[in-house]
Structure 1
Amino acid sequence: MSRQFVTEAVMLAIYGELLLTPVPVEYMIPYTSLLELYEFLSSDEALMSNAEDDKHVKEKVRELVDYLDEPLNKKKIQKALNMPWAKSPYILIGESTRITVVNAMDTAPYGELFDPIETELLLVSQREQTPLLTDQPELIHRIIDASVPVQVFDIDDFEFAVESDHFTHNI
């Protein structure tokens, strides 16, 4: 059985521990989050405050983009783009890690409180009844303040979330 989480694609590049898990994990990623990776690569804006860390993360983003651009993976992603809310076949990205791309389309329900990608993350989490994983404390606070009915974990609690049967959704 795999643990499932909804998260942004860039999280997989920034946090290597997400790919090295003690149990199988599936990350559900909105397609627009994948598109953000290309924006990060073409931008001069730093992702990390430390120049060395920023260079390393951008290399990891490039590796992830190159991997997802491989023909078989690209074909899987394209399958999800045929219909709103379609999911790609899973893509292996580690020994016990895989991603599923979700063609999330509706950004209206939380559009005023959250940006479009945050809204898609919330909607995928609700639709799939899968916890959201983030490194943004302010996003967690806004989710709580808005009483959005999703389970959310801070990246610092990832190990707990993976190991806890009570708090994660199994497939």
Structure 2
Amino acid sequence: MKPRRFVIEAVMLAVYGHLLAPHRPVQYIIPYTTIRELYEIRQSGEHVLPDPEEDMHAKEKIEELISYFESELNRKKIERALSVPWRQSSPLLLHANVSCIILNAVDSARYGELFDPVETELILTSTREQAPLLTDQFEFLERLINNEVPIPIYDIDDFDYALEQDEPHRDSGATT
């Protein structure tokens, strides 16, 4: 079975454990900029989640993901991708049914007025890879819909539903 592909931020992959246990093969496309955000979270000490126990657990998962990306083989795959704009790493196997590729996404001014640089990279990655965006950021979802950004989007709470949907087509619009 061909893996279902989604564009996602690295922190969401770390925080939402159910994303690593899908009932069918999944491949996550992760812009490298969002991996750098994992290090920023580590250094800042700010809360990721409001509940202290959940926050501690999320930070442990972030550390595990950082360690995974820093392992020698994975680090080399990622570094190769970073040598050229829009280059992808070779797939990194996270679990039995889950792999990810790291993409050296490049921000452009195309959506710069409406979205921050990471959001812009997520939009451009989704467009370029023809893969739906998976997010938990309601305000971001709302701005995507209100600005009629032509990418398929799913809330993380709808992950199981998103797994069952057909692959998006080039001209498909935003959905929740």
TM-score, normalised by the number of residues in structure 2: 0.93
Change in Cα spacing, 1:168 to 1:54, as seen in structure 2 (3 Å) is farther
What SS does the aligned partner of 1:63 have?
Answer: helix
What SS does the aligned partner of 1:93 have?
Answer: strand
Residue 107 of structure 1, CA deviation: 2.9
Q: How does 1:160-171 map to 2 (within 5 A)?
A: 160-165=161-166
Is the 8 Å Cα contact of residues 161 and 167 (structure 1) preserved in structure 2?
no
Is residue 123 of structure 1 aligned with residue 116 of structure 2? no
The range that moved more, 107-116 or 121-130, is 107-116
Which gives a bigger RCO, structure 1 or 2 (Cα 8 Å, sep 6+)?
A: 1
Percent of pairs with identical residues? 50
Q: How big is each residue's C-alpha offset from its partner over 1:10-35, in whole Å with a ceiling of 9 and x where there is no partner?
A: 01111000000000000001000000
Residue 168 of structure 1, CA deviation: 8.5
Q: Partner residue of 2:11?
A: 10
Q: Distance in 1 between matches of 2:21 and 2:158?
A: 15
Q: Distance in 2 between matches of 1:126 and 1:167?
A: 10
Residue 164 of structure 1, CA deviation: 2.2
Q: How does 1:29-48 map to 2 (within 5 A)?
A: 29-48=30-49
Figure out how many residues of one structure are paired with residues of the other and give that number. 169
Q: How does 1:43-122 map to 2 (within 5 A)?
A: 43-122=44-123
Q: How big is each residue's C-alpha offset from its partner over 1:124-163, in whole Å with a ceiling of 9 and x where there is no partner?
A: 0001111000001111110011111100000111000112
Q: Partner residue of 1:147?
A: 148
TM-score, normalised by the number of residues in structure 1: 0.95
Q: How big is each residue's C-alpha offset from its partner over 1:39-65, in whole Å with a ceiling of 9 and x where there is no partner?
A: 111112101001111100000000000
Is residue 158 of structure 1 aligned with residue 153 of structure 2? no
Alignment RMSD, CA only?
1.3
Is the 8 Å Cα contact of residues 4 and 167 (structure 2) preserved in structure 1?
no
> Which residue type is aligned with residue 160 of structure 2?
E
Residue 79 of structure 1, CA deviation: 1.0
Gaps of 5+ in 2: 171-176
What SS does the aligned partner of 1:99 have?
Answer: strand
Q: Distance in 2 between matches of 1:107 and 1:46?
A: 30
Runs of 4+ more than 6 Å apart: none
The range that moved more, 158-167 or 78-87, is 158-167
